[in-house]
Amino acid sequence: MKIGIDKIGFATSDLYLDMVDLAKARHEDPNKYLIGIGQSKMAVIRPTQDVVTMAAAAAKKIICQEDKEKISYVIFATESGVDNSKGAAIYLANLLGLKQNIRTIEMKQACYGATAALQLAKGYVALNPESKVLVIGADNARYGIKTPGEPTQGGGAIAMIIGSDPKILELENETSAYAKNIMDFWRPLGHSMALVDGKYSSGVYLDFLKNVWDEQLKKTNYQLQDYGALLFHLPYTKMGLKGLRQILQDATVEDSTRLIREFEYARQFNREVGNLYTGSLYLSFLSLLVNSTSIKSGDRIGFFSYGSGAQAEFFTGILQPDYQKGLVGFDYWAMLNKRQSVSVTEYEDLFEKHVFDIENIELDYQTDKSAFLLAGIHNYKRKYLSR
């Protein structure tokens, strides 16, 4: 029985900050951001948006009535949770109008969380082949204004439906995982922004990549020529390019040319949005599917998932004949091109208005035309609206 990704959808803010504008405001050479980290724009999340509303928007793009009837598990991966006890998945299931006789959980392991959710969903479908699982990777990446990590912020949500006989990708069984207790990135309880040792984390990322790549090679003997594309967790797109270059050190010209070409397709959406934390790897996958002119059914795709702290996994999947149908015809470039640019001052103002640990507040959502909204908080209870 084939199990894998049946559909995939993406949502982000309707606002963005141009990285050239941010560079000028921070007295930096724009090429430090455009080339040095490989980012063009950064999603700016409104205070009336959070991981729940963005996840609902992403899922709404792909869920049909048949899916609603078959989804029996919602797994929400995030490190931007809205409650220390109540999982975001139960808010999401309610907003989407899913049936009540289902399981809903939230899971966390930095940017790796959505991959853990994907593997958990695969095992569940193996035992329940008539069921589907809704997997979410959603985050609001916040490092702080005028911090070193500021240009690697962003946000959005990826939604994936996992099931048998998938339209997009069949997950192969062999995977390689690696975990080690390190402090390269963390967000202590009570902190609304992450703490990171950027240089150290970049080195750990590459070390973990080498470990799981070598292990996967031992398990499968898949060589570079066996891959149609290699995808990476992209906290910023230059990081994935560094990982690819590490793998391609002894590659043939043909393999190197092909895999770099596909990587460029796979990072186009990430360049436009910034860091999605849990969703970044899967946004890159969506970008590949939408933008590549040469990827085809039957191609093997390699995925490197990394979450600080740290956990990594390398896994593979086979692209299916109907993979375009799993995108449900949504025009993501039109969505991204319709976004509104904000100034650095406007971005800073919106950044500071996000609510954390507030007992009561009414939010002004009149300018937010999104389908799902955070309207306010009353007695620490979040109030969501759908249109």
Q: 196, 310 in Cβ contact below 8 A?
A: no
Domain locations in the chain? 3-169+328-386, 172-321
Give the pLDDT score at 249: 96
What is d(CA 72, CA 126) in angstroms, rounded to the nearest whole number? 13
What is d(CA 348, CA 211) in angstroms, rounded to the nearest whole number? 39
Q: What is the architecture of the domain spanning 172-321?
A: 3-Layer(aba) Sandwich (3.40)
Quick one: three-class SS letters along 143-193?
CCCCCCCHHHCEEEEEEEEEEECCCCEEECCCCEEEECCCCCEECCCCCCC
Give the pLDDT score at 363: 95
Residue 107's DSSP bridge partners are: 77
Q: Which of 82, 18, 60, 7 is nearest to 273 (CA)?
A: 18
Q: 230, 304 in Cβ contact below 8 A?
A: yes
DSSP string, 373-386: EEEEEETTEEEEEE
* CATH topology identical between 3-169+328-386 and 172-321: yes
Which residue carries 């990135």 as its tokens? 185
Q: How far is CA 302 from CA 37, 212, 312, in A?
A: 22, 12, 13
Tokens for 173, please give them: 């069984």
Query: Is the peptide bond between 88 and the residue preceding it cis, with omega within 30 degrees of 0?
Result: no
Which residues fall in the annotated binding site for (3S)-3-hydroxy-3-methylglutaryl-CoA? Answer: 29, 143, 242, 275
Beta-carbon-side half-sphere exposure of residue 210 (alpha carbons within 13 Å): 9
3-169+328-386: CATH topology is: Peroxisomal Thiolase; Chain A, domain 1 (3.40.47)
Phi, psi of 199 (to 5 degrees): -65, -45
Q: Note down pLDDT in tens along the chain; length 387 residues.
A: 999 999 999 999 999 999 999 999 999 999 999 999 999 999 999 999 999 999 999 999 999 999 999 999 999 999 999 999 999 999 999 999 999 999 999 999 999 999 999 999 999 999 999 999 999 999 999 999 999 999 999 999 999 999 999 999 999 999 999 999 999 999 999 898 899 898 999 999 999 999 999 999 999 999 999 999 999 999 999 999 999 999 999 999 999 999 999 999 999 999 999 999 999 999 999 999 999 999 999 999 999 999 999 999 999 999 999 999 999 999 999 999 999 999 999 999 999 999 888 999 999 999 999 999 999 999 999 999 998
Which residue carries 């939408």 as its tokens? 290
For the stretch 182-187, contacts whose Cβ atoms lie closer than 8 Å and that sit 24 or more positions apart, written own/partner, are: 182/308, 182/309, 182/310, 183/309, 184/308, 184/309, 184/310, 185/110, 185/308, 185/309, 186/308, 186/309, 187/79
Active-site residues, by number, are 79, 111, 233
Report CA torsion sign: 150, 152, 154, 160: negative
Which residue carries 């390699």 as its tokens? 302
Give the pLDDT score at 357: 86
Give the pLDDT score at 255: 98
Buried b (16+ CB within 10 A) or exposed e, 179-217: eeebebbebeeeeebbebbeeebbebbbebbebbbebbe
Which residues fall in the annotated binding site? Answer: 29, 143, 242, 275
Give the pLDDT score at 301: 99
Q: How many CB atoms lie within 10 A of CB 18?
A: 18
Which residue carries 């994936």 as its tokens? 160
Tokens for 372, please give them: 């799902």
How is residue 27 annotated by DSSP? T
User: ∠ CA 20-369-38 to the nearest 5 degrees?
Assistant: 25
